């Protein structure tokens, strides 16, 4: 049976898995203690639950539980990782390397660091969203302390070769930080095998609760330290003060445990649906896939439909299908996506893009419905578009001089 509306915006957030909800419930009602209360059973029980969740989270990424610092989400973890390294390693240098397609949580943190006197190099990406590894290595200077590159892009799903990036960082004695929000729980991650020094991720992108995330901080080879950005009672080994969100952390742990069990099965099923969606929509004329198709997340595709306005497209079916045009974190603005612009897309293609993020609860019926709804809407909008008419008549739209108002 087809259930409407259809949710295909899993890169923005995921629905909570009922098993996660079930694990969290007691910590709202009966076991409501503060994990820092060491004098009575309520506190002990909460602390025990946090310790267990820390093990579950660490296990998913191949880390030691002591390397997991709980935060309010990936945005805070990005800030703590980048600003924390910048302050802690100030004597070694002040140069950070990142990319133009990073999430705003990283880009805006880097802008803040520039105001503090830091130096940031923003690497351009290739047309498929990948990093030129030679350009990355060439950007390293004696003052470089950190390379910050997202493991997978939230808008186009392009997955970067972290092992190769890590090898470059290690060769030059530079720390590697990655925003892995879109990756953890979706594809296998092992911080040791992949050579990651610091990594941010979040529960709500992997069927866990909102408002809780983690920063992985390597403890040996090398031992990494970050300066706290929130001061208080010295929680989380002094790196992040504040009363722990016990129910959230319990849910995060459970979400990680489920991801370990279900990842392979989820990936196999979801990628088949994604490929079907993509194959059918690419039958439309002038449809283009954005980002790499060989190195990307299994549940994401980003497609531009030329000569159609993305916002208009969304309005055509957004009562029944939840999608995003551009990135959810910045979609309040009508500017075309900066990520798509960085790939070299013109405004016309950048404005006409839709991001599809499938998930654990997406069904075949929903994909069939989506294919038909989007195809019908694109065709209908194009029939009303003078640009489409001109394109069909063979007029080169780039050569037209538009009259100014």
Q: Is residue 61's pLDDT more than 60?
A: yes
pLDDT 10s digits, 138-185? 999 999 999 999 999 999 999 999 999 999 999 999 999 999 999 999
Q: Is residue 224 part of a domain?
A: yes
Number of domains in the chain: 2
Q: Are residues 240 and 118 in the same domain?
A: yes
Q: Average of pLDDT values for 29-46?
A: 96
Q: Are residues 207 and 118 in the same domain?
A: yes
* Confidence bin at 404 (pLDDT 50/70/90): low
Q: Are residues 251 and 306 in the same domain?
A: no
Q: Average of pLDDT values for 5-11?
A: 97
Q: CA 368, 359, 101, 326: dihedral to nearest 10 degrees?
A: 50
What is the rounded CA–CA span in Å between residue 399 and residue 115?
42
pLDDT 10s digits, 236-246? 999 999 999 99
Q: Is residue 381 part of a domain?
A: yes
Q: Is residue 247 part of a domain?
A: yes
* Confidence bin at 387 (pLDDT 50/70/90): confident
Q: State the CATH number of the domain containing residue 292.
A: 3.90.1150.10
Is the separation of the CB atoms in 83 and 227 below 8 Å?
Answer: yes
pLDDT exceeding 90 applies to what percent of the chain? Answer: 86
Q: Is residue 135 part of a domain?
A: yes
Q: Last residue of some domain: 258, 285, 315? A: 258
Q: Is residue 1 part of a domain?
A: no
Give the pLDDT confidence score for residue 326 in this predicted structure: 55
Q: Are residues 170 and 238 in the same domain?
A: yes
Q: Are residues 137 and 277 in the same domain?
A: no
Residues identified as active-site:
329
pLDDT 10s digits, 230-283? 999 999 999 999 999 999 999 999 999 999 999 999 999 999 999 999 999 999
Q: Are residues 115 and 181 in the same domain?
A: yes
Q: Are residues 295 and 375 in the same domain?
A: yes
Residue 238, Cβ density class (10 Å: 0-12 exposed, 13-18 middle, ≥19 buried): middle
Q: How far is CA 209 from CA 36, 293, 364, 369, in A?
A: 21, 30, 26, 28
Q: Are residues 284 and 237 in the same domain?
A: no
Q: Average of pLDDT values for 185-198?
A: 98
Q: Average of pLDDT values for 314-325?
A: 86
Q: Last residue of some domain: 258, 288, 314? A: 258
Q: Is residue 81 part of a domain?
A: yes
Gyration radius of the chain's alpha carbons: 22
Q: Is residue 80 part of a domain?
A: yes
Q: Average of pLDDT values for 284-301?
A: 97
Q: Are residues 130 and 232 in the same domain?
A: yes
**Structure token pair of residue 9:** 């915006």
Q: Which residue has the higher pLDDT, 88 or 311?
A: 88
CA 216 vs. chain centroid, Å, equals 16
Give the pLDDT confidence score for residue 272 in this predicted structure: 98
Q: State the CATH number of the domain containing residue 188.
A: 3.40.640.10
Q: Are residues 51 and 186 in the same domain?
A: yes
Q: Last residue of some domain: 191, 225, 258? A: 258
> Mean pLDDT score of the chain, rounded to an integer?
94
Q: Is residue 317's pLDDT more than 90?
A: no
Q: Is residue 403 part of a domain?
A: no
Q: How many helices (H) and strands (E) does the chain have?
A: 13, 12
Q: Are residues 160 and 234 in the same domain?
A: yes
∠ CA 346-138-297, nearest 5°, is 50
Q: Are residues 334 and 240 in the same domain?
A: no
Q: Is residue 52's pLDDT more than 60?
A: yes
What is the rounded CA–CA span in Å between residue 315 and residue 378?
11
What is the rounded CA–CA span in Å between residue 93 and residue 149?
19
Q: Is residue 346's pLDDT more than 80?
A: yes
Tell me which residue range forms the domain holding 208.
Answer: 18-258
Length of the chain: 405
Q: Average of pLDDT values for 180-209?
A: 98
pLDDT 10s digits, 324-341? 885 344 445 567 899 999
């Amino acid at each position: 049976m087809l259930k409407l509306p259809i949710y295909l915006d899993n890169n923005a957030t995921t629905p909570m898995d009922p098993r996660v909800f079930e694990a969290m419930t007691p910590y709202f009602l009966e076991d409501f203690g503060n994990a820092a209360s060491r004098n009575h059973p309520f506190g002990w029980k909460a602390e025990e639950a946090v310790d267990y969740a820390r093990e579950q989270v660490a296990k998913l990424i191949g880390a030691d539980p002591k390397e997991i610092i709980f935060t309010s989400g990936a945005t805070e973890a990005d800030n703590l990782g980048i600003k924390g390294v910048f302050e802690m390693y100030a004597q070694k240098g002040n140069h950070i390397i990142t990319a133009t397609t990073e999430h705003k949580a990283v880009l805006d943190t880097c802008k803040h660091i520039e105001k503090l006197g830091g130096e940031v190099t923003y690497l351009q990406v290739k047309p498929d969203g990948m990093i030129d590894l030679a350009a990355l290595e060439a950007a390293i200077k004696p003052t470089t302390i950190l390379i910050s590159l997202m493991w997978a892009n939230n808008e186009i799903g392009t997955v970067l070769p972290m092992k190769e990036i890590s090898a470059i960082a290690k060769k030059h004695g530079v720390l590697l930080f990655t925003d892995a929000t879109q990756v953890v729980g979706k594809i296998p991650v092992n911080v040791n095998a992949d050579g990651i020094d610091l990594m941010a991720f979040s529960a709500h992108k992997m069927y866990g609760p909102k408002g809780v995330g983690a920063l992985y901080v390597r403890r040996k080879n090398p031992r990494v330290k970050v300066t706290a950005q929130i001061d208080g009672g010295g929680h989380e080994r002094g790196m992040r003060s504040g009363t722990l969100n016990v129910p959230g952390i319990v849910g995060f742990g459970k979400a990680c445990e489920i991801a370990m069990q279900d990842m392979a099965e989820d990936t196999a099923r979801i990628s088949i649906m994604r490929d079907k969606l993509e194959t059918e929509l690419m039958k439309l004329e002038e449809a283009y896939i954005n980002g790499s198709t060989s190195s990307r997340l299994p549940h994401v595709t980003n497609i531009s439909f030329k000569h159609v306005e993305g916002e208009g497209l969304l309005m055509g079916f957004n009562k029944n299908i939840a999608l995003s045009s551009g990135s959810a974190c910045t979609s309040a603005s009508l500017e075309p996506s900066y990520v798509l612009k960085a790939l070299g897309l013109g405004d016309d293609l950048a404005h006409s893009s839709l991001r599809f993020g499938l998930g654990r609860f997406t069904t075949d019926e929903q994909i069939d419905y989506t294919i038909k709804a989007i195809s019908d809407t694109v065709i209908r909008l194009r029939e009303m578009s003078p640009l489409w008419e001109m394109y069909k008549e063979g007029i080169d739209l780039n050569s037209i001089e538009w009259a100014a108002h």
